Amino acid sequence: MLVVKLLSFETMEQRADSVHSLVDHLFRHESGKMVSVLSRLLGLQNLEAAQDIVQDTLLQAMNTWGYNGIPENPSGWLYRVAKNKAIDLLRRQKKFKEISPQYSYLLQSEYTLSSTVNNFFLDDEIQDSQLRMMFACSHPSIPEESQIALTLKTLCGLSVHEIAKAFLTNDDAISKRIYRAKEKIVSERIELNVPQGKELPERLDVVLKSLYLLFNEGYSSSHPDKLIRDDLCEEAIRLTYLLTLQSVTNLSRVNALLSLMCLQASRLQARVDDKGNIILLKYQDRSKWYKPLIERGTAYLELASEMGEASPYHLEAAIASLHAVAPSFEQTDWKSIYDLYKSLYQMQPVPIVALNKAIASAYAINKEKALEQLLKIKGLENYYLYHTSIGEIYFEMENKGQAKKFYETALHLTTSHQEQELLKRKIASCEVV
């Protein structure tokens, strides 16, 4: 069960030490670590060379482990092979020494070459390299969709084809996004640095936004393959967790975002039925919500609050936690949720927050008030959930004619098979006299 894995972040970071079986996704996660470390060593401008070394290393592991079994320390084995390949490359090609100027003098001398490379593969340095890579992938000059694709490719070890599958697009589209990102790395001379001082919070916000979008892609998308959705959520949580491990990035808003992700992920099992249909919050079986993840999310929210600050992530996490502790949809603290959405709307006056605020007001105040707010929202005309929500309110006000009209508009706007099924059922229920 995925949520069990999600709970144990530590094991996601842990290395396989069992001789008999490997931790799930070991290759994928080690690939992300090694690409980060090698890019730091060779310079980010040589990202491709770093990726080639990692690919060769994993191929070698696949062949030898497949025949001879898993070595005692699989991660150590991978690092040793990758290190040797990197040292070979540095010896053979002088140009690499020139490109990573910070370490070039250490890499030029045979006396210091091996020990310098070794130092990069120490635990703390691996984490540090991943952190630098996160900032590089979410560099503000790289377009948002390219940021996510690059993060999935370099830090999460997904192939172009796997990313394309996750985003329901073709390989070419993803290749282009990654190409654009790599172009920016060269033209903007992006290096693997953790921003300092005043620049840090701003740059961190871009990283968080990218992780937030990655999580939502897994959580909110109606991708037919549940495993893929779960994977995206898991990767987003893993990387956000990584940020909390580093003192420079362990900020209040990072904990708030991690809290939000945990609380949302606790509902992953309950929001889809056996046939893959989406179940709305109102109709979810709350006993299927994964309690340990709720506890974890609550703990991160407390931590985030103690650290001060009230970012949008704090408010969203607080809203998610009110849902998580509510015994039923009706017994939810809608009043507080509505207030939180009001504050969120002040920070982020965007239509989607207005939509959520309006929905909350239906239960916090009354349906008439909600309808009034909903009909005033501009900019969501092509968003199916906007029309579904209005239909829902009309339906609850017993105005089935209007409800049907809005459900039908929504039906035309969504391409998701699951959503279409849900809407067809709603339309049918409007027709029953």
Partner 1 sequence: MEKFMLIFQGGGPSENASPEFMQAQMGKWMAWIDKLSKAGKYVSGEPLLPGGKLIKGKSKTVTDGPYTEGKEIVGGYFILTAENYDEAVKLCDDYPDYENGGSIQVRQVMKM
What's the distance, CA 303 to chain centroid? 21
Output the smallest distance, CB 146 to partner 1, in A.
18
- Mark residue 379 as left, alpha or beta (left: phi above 0; alpha: psi -120 to 50; beta: remaining): left
Q: List the one residue from 159, 170, 250, 382 that touches partner 1 (CB under 8 A).
A: 159
Output the smallest distance, CB 64 to partner 1, in A.
6
Q: Does position 169 bind partner 1 by CB under 8 A?
A: no
Binding mask 310-349 for partner 1 (x = CB under 8 A): ----------------------------------------
Chain position carrying tokens 């394309």: 164
Q: List the one residue from 128, 145, 162, 419 that touches partner 1 (CB under 8 A).
A: 162
Output the smallest distance, CB 307 to partner 1, in A.
35
- Quote the CA–CA distance of 149 and 134 in Å, as a whole number: 12
Tell which residue, 433, 374, 424, 367, has the closest CA to residue 400. 433
Output the smallest distance, CB 232 to partner 1, in A.
13
Q: Does position 268 bind partner 1 by CB under 8 A?
A: no
Q: Does position 81 bind partner 1 by CB under 8 A?
A: no
Output the smallest distance, CB 165 to partner 1, in A.
10
Using the rule CB under 8 A, give the single segment among 5-13, 66-74, 276-284, 388-396 that binds partner 1. Answer: 66-74
Between vectors from CA 324 to CA 323 and to CA 330, what angle results, nearest 5°? 45
Q: List the one residue from 64, 119, 221, 402 that touches partner 1 (CB under 8 A).
A: 64
Given the complex with partner 1, which of 66 and 197 has the nearer CB atom?
A: 66
Q: Does position 265 bind partner 1 by CB under 8 A?
A: no
The beta-carbon contacts of 363-371 under 8 Å, at least 24 apart in sequence, are 363/332, 363/334, 363/338, 364/334, 364/335, 364/337, 364/338, 365/338, 367/393, 367/396, 367/397, 368/397, 371/397
Given the complex with partner 1, which of 65 and 329 has the nearer CB atom?
A: 65
- Quote the CA–CA distance of 205 and 140 in Å, as a whole number: 10
Given the complex with partner 1, which of 57 and 298 has the nearer CB atom?
A: 57
Q: Does position 218 bind partner 1 by CB under 8 A?
A: no
Output the smallest distance, CB 95 to partner 1, in A.
23
With CB under 8 A, what is the number of residues at the site for partner 1? 25
Given the complex with partner 1, which of 30 and 191 has the nearer CB atom?
A: 30
Q: List the one residue from 38, 61, 211, 294 that touches partner 1 (CB under 8 A).
A: 61
Output the smallest distance, CB 304 to partner 1, in A.
32
Given the complex with partner 1, which of 161 and 282 has the nearer CB atom?
A: 161
What residues contact 336, with CB distance under 8 A and at least 6 apart?
322
Q: Does position 84 bind partner 1 by CB under 8 A?
A: no
**How many of the other CB atoms lie within 10 Å of CB of 20?**
7
- Quote the CA–CA distance of 246 and 131 in Å, as a whole number: 8
Binding mask 12-51 for partner 1 (x = CB under 8 A): ----------x--xxxx-xx--------------------
Q: 3 is written with which tokens?
A: 């949520």
| Contact by Cβ (8 Å): 369, 391 | no
Given the complex with partner 1, which of 89 and 163 has the nearer CB atom?
A: 163
Given the complex with partner 1, which of 114 and 159 has the nearer CB atom?
A: 159
Q: Does position 425 bind partner 1 by CB under 8 A?
A: no
Given the complex with partner 1, which of 59 and 428 has the nearer CB atom?
A: 59
- Name the phi and psi angles at 278, rounded to 5: -80, 135
Using the rule CB under 8 A, give the single segment among 1-9, 159-167, 269-277, 352-360 that binds partner 1. Answer: 159-167
Residues that bind partner 1 in the complex, under the rule CB under 8 A: 22, 25-28, 30-31, 55, 58-59, 61-67, 69-70, 157-162
